[in-house]
Structure 1
């Protein structure tokens, strides 16, 4: 009887987590990965390592929220890594060279990031440029501007309070940057679950023409999504600057691939209209846990790239199979 009760409680807990995340498969995969790494290494299953993983996924987690919005409407954004670098360089130059207060520099960096997303949104909606091409162009342009700001040079040194955002653990547990990521995730989850504007993203991704006939301003939603994605990429850049205590225009190379991978692994369909923030968070954790575990196992960085590539293919294949069966 006791064993039956424990089994029922475990099933209930798994069901609750599945409903909250909206991604049962990725959740099971994350649990299996954690069990494997706990057996394979002595240091993985520890509080310290768990906190390190949270610190390491903050940038990816914030960017993945914006990418989830974009992929939900059936779009794609290849510019997030470059926008991250642009945000960092704008903040660094205005604070350390122009002499603006740090708070004003952060706000200006977010405004510039949002403007880059606005340009992408206008290209996609008004000029009907495919999202792949529009964001590819912005990836190149934003990276170029980031390099032009300081002629390719890095900027080092920020106020102590800014650096401590990524170092000081409040109550001995969470840094301010990790807390910021969790707040962004929570707000996005509430937005998609309980706000009509959030449900519009699913409608646009499911069928833009039907959404338009239903009275949804598809162009406005699309532009808003790309602006939100760019602002979150800029916010991630500020978080990365706090972690590194420096900014450089080469930051963010390859981040767009990791971001898309996290969203897809979390169960969001690349064709749009299906996915969840909970699933994206699980996808981010899978990538973070996998990289952390492979490092603990002393796996070559080159082999790590291969393994993560295989995981992405398996995740997409599993999602395709699930949709066919449905």
Structure 2
């Protein structure tokens, strides 16, 4: 084959064969979650005539809201190369404290909400301190908090649900036939998460730490302090999710949000974040949460057994991790 050595000419390095062009392959790999969501919506609409109704679409958004808010926080941890298994328990504990403050102690609702978010943030701070200064692996530190926060929720509530003030009920309700308050909160928290990741020093530090912690330290980033900020943010987002969930249930239940941490992690991974760290977006996390909600909702409409639903969701998570591996290789 003749080689063009004339100045200004570039060799054609396109791979041979009949595969898709690199641009299309990259487009599919980078937007796989969005394409999967669109395909899933179309498939469910075809299989079930009840899927594409206004009421059901709003229900899908409401079902995704708590998982998405939790997952936004988990995104911070995963982007920075960590993990947080405690978000479900922290959400329940924060909600129980909200009920305890407002119902048992007579604290005004506004201040009760602020205190509940501070409780979640404090749990996150403990996680961050254990990880940053105690040198505990994130898996172990947050697993310990998972147990501790759930236990504290049981202690404070004495194992029984705590009723919430009527003035909080609107948080879990629909404003009209087309708009639900939990969906608006989900969108607002997503915008906050996106701004933190893309527009703040801490957000850029998360990507740097997740990409290469030692390089981030050598570049002047105070890694330990940033890790504390990361897990404090995770706790704050978990508290907001707990408040939304409690408002939907009309009570703060110590056993609420059990297993939600796994859904949150799954949403982040399905949305394109890498468990190796350094990669992830709030928009991708939202798409991941919507995929899980659409999948569950559609399978329920099709009368698929709850046991088989778990199998399908597990397969989707495995496929998402496989796609992440292929994307990093590409």
TM-score by length of 2: 0.89
C-alpha separation between the residues in 2 aligned to 1:34 and 1:175? 20
Give the superposition deviation at 1:157.
4.3
Task: For residue 57 of structure 1, give the secondary structure of its aligned residue in structure 2.
Answer: helix
Per the alignment, residue 170 of structure 2 pairs with: 164
Per the alignment, residue 62 of structure 1 pairs with: 69
Give the superposition deviation at 1:177.
2.3
C-alpha separation between the residues in 1 aligned to 2:174 and 2:134? 47
C-alpha separation between the residues in 2 aligned to 1:302 and 1:204? 39
C-alpha separation between the residues in 1 aligned to 2:115 and 2:202? 27
What stretches of structure 1 of length at least 5 have no aligned partner?
1-14
C-alpha separation between the residues in 2 aligned to 1:303 and 1:134? 32
C-alpha separation between the residues in 1 aligned to 2:170 and 2:30? 34
Contact map agreement 2:30 2:327 (CA 8 A) in 1: no
C-alpha separation between the residues in 1 aligned to 2:49 and 2:122? 47
Contact map agreement 2:163 2:252 (CA 8 A) in 1: yes
Per the alignment, residue 203 of structure 2 pairs with: 198
Contact map agreement 2:102 2:164 (CA 8 A) in 1: no
Q: Which moved more, 1:181-190 or 1:287-296?
A: 181-190
Task: For residue 244 of structure 2, give the secondary structure of its aligned residue in structure 1.
Answer: helix
Contact map agreement 1:23 1:278 (CA 8 A) in 2: no
Task: For residue 308 of structure 1, give the secondary structure of its aligned residue in structure 2.
Answer: helix
Which one of 129, 149, 170 corresponds to residue 122 of structure 1? 129
Per the alignment, residue 137 of structure 1 pairs with: 144
Which one of 210, 218, 223 corresponds to residue 215 of structure 2? 210
Give the superposition deviation at 1:196.
3.4
Contact map agreement 2:182 2:244 (CA 8 A) in 1: yes
C-alpha separation between the residues in 2 aligned to 1:196 and 1:117? 19
C-alpha separation between the residues in 2 aligned to 1:103 and 1:157? 13
Task: For residue 172 of structure 2, give the secondary structure of its aligned residue in structure 1.
Answer: coil
Deviation digits for residues 36-60 of structure 1 (CA, Å, limit 9, x no counterpart): 1111000111222111111111111
User: Is residue 270 of structure 1 aligned with residue 278 of structure 2?
Assistant: no
C-alpha separation between the residues in 2 aligned to 1:163 and 1:292? 24
The 4+ residue runs of structure 1 with deviation greater than 6 A are none
Give the superposition deviation at 1:220.
1.1
Per the alignment, residue 6 of structure 1 pairs with: none
Give the superposition deviation at 1:127.
1.1
Aligned-pair Cα RMSD in Å: 1.6
Please tell me whether Structure 1 or Structure 2 has the larger radius of gyration of its CA atoms.
2
C-alpha separation between the residues in 1 aligned to 2:81 and 2:164? 40
Q: Which moved more, 1:104-113 or 1:118-127?
A: 104-113
Per the alignment, residue 53 of structure 1 pairs with: 60
C-alpha separation between the residues in 2 aligned to 1:168 and 1:28? 28
Task: For residue 202 of structure 1, give the secondary structure of its aligned residue in structure 2.
Answer: helix
Give the total of aligned pairs.
Answer: 305
